[in-house]
A and B are shown apart, each in its own frame.
Chain A
Amino acid sequence: MSMTFDDGTFIRNEMAPALPPPTQRIGALAWMRENLFSGVLNTLLTVFGIFLVALIVPPFVRFMFIDAVWTGENREACLGPEVGACWPFIQAKFGQLIYGFYPISERWRVDIVFAAGVLLLVPLMVLSWPFKRINAFLFFVAYPVVAFVLLTGGNINASAFLLERFGLIRGLVGDAEIGGINLVFWVDYVLTALLVMAAIGGLIAALGGSGRSAARTTFWVFLAFGLLIFIWDVDVGLDYVETRQWGGLLVTLVIAVTGIVASLPLGILLALGRRSQMPVVRLLSVIFIEFWRGVPLITVLFFATYMLPLFLPQGTNPDALLRALVGVALFSAAYMAEVVRGGLQAIPKGQYEGAMAVGLTWSQMMRLIILPQALTLVIPGIVNSFISLFKDTTLVLIVSIFDFLGQLRASFTDPNWATPVTLYTGFAFAGVVYFLFCFGMSRYSLFVERRLNTSHRH
């Protein structure tokens, strides 16, 4: 009750009755009212969304799992009025989709390459694991060399080719082979190396520089190159498998991995060139980058297929896959250069000045101070450009290289599996594979971005 005084003052001396509890604020119903049906438009949108889900999801699930055919020998299994995905078709074509026409007895070589790739890539991707430097070296340098030998069979006889074209003493000695090793070539190679070392060292020394260190650099270059020739020349007893027989996921991954391995160093060089103080170097880099970024990859592949052979000396007829690889590598290098440039621009000037102040040379400054920071910053960008490179590998099917998608398309024409659902099964399978690869990579790039962001959250 309340008291009312003569002058009209009103004093309440008792609690007002409690208001009724608000309409439910928690729980599923309240959530729905707030989020899904808060207004006319919102309700309409919700209904439309649910309608879309009902339109797409149940038929999709039915097609993929419930109505799907799981076992069968040929098309008979998948003929029927209400048949979903024809998974036996994928089973039958699985080898082709993964290896292309790689000889069945040699497929273990591809398996080893796949396994080694995963074994090297996973520790590289887990940020907290140690030995990043040696791991990166193994993945970016050793792995491609070994994979090349395993996949092609090695023994490409580069020594004979080089000897014929550039040999110094071929006329004097003739050919001599001991144990499959081209002795003349190696004698020739060592002689050439010594001569070039002496020439470069002498030149630099005469100009007043350190001739010894120049000669040492030359020595390492020749050693690395010689090692490469040796590994590719040695007959390891594997059959030669020409690239025309490669196909499927193997080709997709070969192009993607070659693209990234080649484009990363090339892209870094181009980015440094674009940021350089030297006008000629800068101009050349800008022209190179903008040219490749300005044209579609298809025209690059046409360029590599039809135009590149015309630019090479007569008689050299590079492999079709190799030509496509060159095109893809140059193309992705230009995009990589822009990603790296973004990282370089994000490094504060103080870092450069600090590095110079402690007396580092330009290459030391880049190697030890700038690039490690810049590259860490742009890991998400690098992964993103790898995703688009992975998606772009499909384009090689237009220049008649059978990658995963090309192989899939070819398998549609097999009369043994000609059913109304073959097409959809194939697209569903390929879609899932591509999605898993690309989505996985994009999640990884997000994860790295979040992990690396912590240091900037002050």
Chain B
Amino acid sequence: MTDLAGPVGGHAKSSFINDPKVRSIGLQLIALIVVIFLGWSFTENARDNLAAQKIATGFGFLDNTAGFGINQTLIPYSETSTYGRAFVVGLLNTLLVAVVGILLATIIGFLVGIGRLSKNFVVRTLSTVYVEVLRNLPPLFQILFWYLAVLSAMPGPRNSISLFGEVFISNRGIIIPRPLFGDGAGIVVWAIGLAILMAILFRHWAASRQEETGRYLPVLWINLGLIIGLPLLALIATGFPISFEVPELKGFNFVGGVQVIPEFVALTVALATYTAAFIAENVRSGIQSVSHGQTEAAHSLGLRHAQTLRLVIIPQAMRVIIPPLTSQYLNLTKNSSLAVGIGYPDLVAVFAGTALNQSGQAIEIIAITMGVYLVLSIITATIMNVYNKRVALVER
């Protein structure tokens, strides 16, 4: 037999349809055709539907007057502002909940997670109960509970609960003193920034010095002193330009101060406590993932307990903790869209809710809203991938 042009090793009945390459190309072509057809028919249908319902298309509506009020705005906004401005207000409100919620959730989560590993029976049991209860109740249920059952049940402004006579909790939310920035306040802000920058530089320098000479500096305490001391010095030098306007009860409501609306409190507290339960589990599994041999080795090298924790256990645990931690942060940010359930003006409630109902431009508005969350996810995922590459175990 010299005819080697045919399929090598193929048997008589085999044909090109059984060739994996042909099949793969065929399948991919079919997949592409299906997707393109679906996309095409969706666009056609959408065009017909929009024409029939006389809905405008395009992003021109962003410049139109919104005409509705928003009860919490971080930037100046009024009913005469545009939809575009309403979008920014909603986005900022979402980010506010996300940032405050993430901070709170991290603190509670780490405390509870460490508590779950405590030798103390009471602490351990309480932490376990916390995690199991909060994790197994729907977040929307918890938000509604905080909003309807806890915050609405607070006393009215006249009988509000007062903390140190400066902060007032009532059924209209929490009222805190408003900082007033006088002349020279800018210097203090600069001092804070400078202190943080110096602290970072000092840490680097101390680390490299330790590499070279083996001598250790108490970086934490020096940096803490730097970050507190420098702004304090600036404050003294400029003669305390920052003062606080304490809220006062006048008539039936408070005057002055910053009012934190109850929707914000309910949403943030509910999301933070809910997410904290998941973070606690991540922290626990992260700490448990560091084998006990590491502790024993560190002790036998003569490290003290605190040093063992700080230099051996936590760095290794963090490698396990951080990836799920960021996805919990992302979850919290996405869950902040539940705001619409209690009327907190976040991105979804303001833009995909009110603005959509008014303008009717569902496609553009929902696309923008989804796009915002997608961008947030992609940014987080990218940072995560970079981090994962940096901390991944380098194996032989």
Interface residues, chain A, with chain B CB atoms under 8 Å away: 35-36, 38, 42, 45-46, 49-50, 52-53, 204, 207-209, 277-281, 284, 290-291, 293-299, 302-303, 306-307, 309-314, 387, 390-395, 397-398, 405, 409, 412, 423-424, 427, 430-431, 434-435, 438-439, 442
Contact = CB atoms under 8 A, between A and B. Distances in A.
A405 B144 CA distance: 10
B363 interface: yes
Nearest to B132: A439
Interface stretch (B24-32, B84-92, B261-269, B318-326): B24-32
Contact of B352 (A302, A310, A390, A435): A302
B50 A310 contact: yes
A327 to B, nearest CB: 12
B245 interface: no
Contacts of A209: 15, 17-18
B356 interface: yes
Nearest to B115: A45
B48 interface: yes
Interface stretch (B133-141, B198-206, B228-236): B133-141
Given A42-B120, A295-B374, A405-B140, 13 more contacts: A36-B121, A207-B16, A277-B24, A294-B370, A311-B42, A312-B45, A390-B138, A391-B137, A391-B138, A394-B141, A397-B341, A434-B136, A434-B138
Nearest to A291: B374
A123 to B, nearest CB: 25
A424 B366 CA distance: 36
Q: Provide the main secondary structure of the chain A interface.
A: helix
B338 A298 contact: yes
Nearest to A277: B24
B340 A307 contact: no
A438 B132 CA distance: 10
Interface magnitude class on chain B: 35 or more
A435 B52 CA distance: 47
29 contacts: A35-B120, A36-B120, A36-B122, A42-B120, A46-B120, A49-B120, A209-B15, A209-B17, A277-B24, A278-B24, A280-B28, A290-B377, A291-B374, A294-B370, A294-B376, A298-B340, A298-B348, A299-B348, A302-B352, A302-B356, A306-B356, A307-B363, A310-B50, A311-B45, A311-B49, A314-B52, A394-B138, A395-B140, A427-B148
A423 B147 CA distance: 11
Contact of A46 (B28, B49, B122, B149): B122
B390 interface: no
Contact of A423 (B123, B141, B148): B148
A52 B129 CA distance: 12
A121 to B, nearest CB: 19
B249 to A, nearest CB: 25
Contacts of A394: 138-141
Nearest to B338: A298
B348 A296 contact: yes
B140 A311 contact: no
Contacts of A42: 119-120
Nearest to A312: B45
A207 B136 contact: no
B357 to A, nearest CB: 9
Contact of A397 (B45, B123, B140, B362): B140
Contact of B137 (A46, A306, A307, A438): A438
B366 A427 contact: no
B335 A45 contact: no
Contacts of B65: none
Given A298-B337, A298-B338, A307-B363, A50 B122 contact: yes
B145 interface: yes
A295 B373 contact: yes
Given A38-B119, A49-B120, A431-B141, A280 B32 contact: yes
B369 interface: yes
A6 to B, nearest CB: 45
B374 A302 contact: no
Contacts of A302: 348, 352, 356, 366, 369
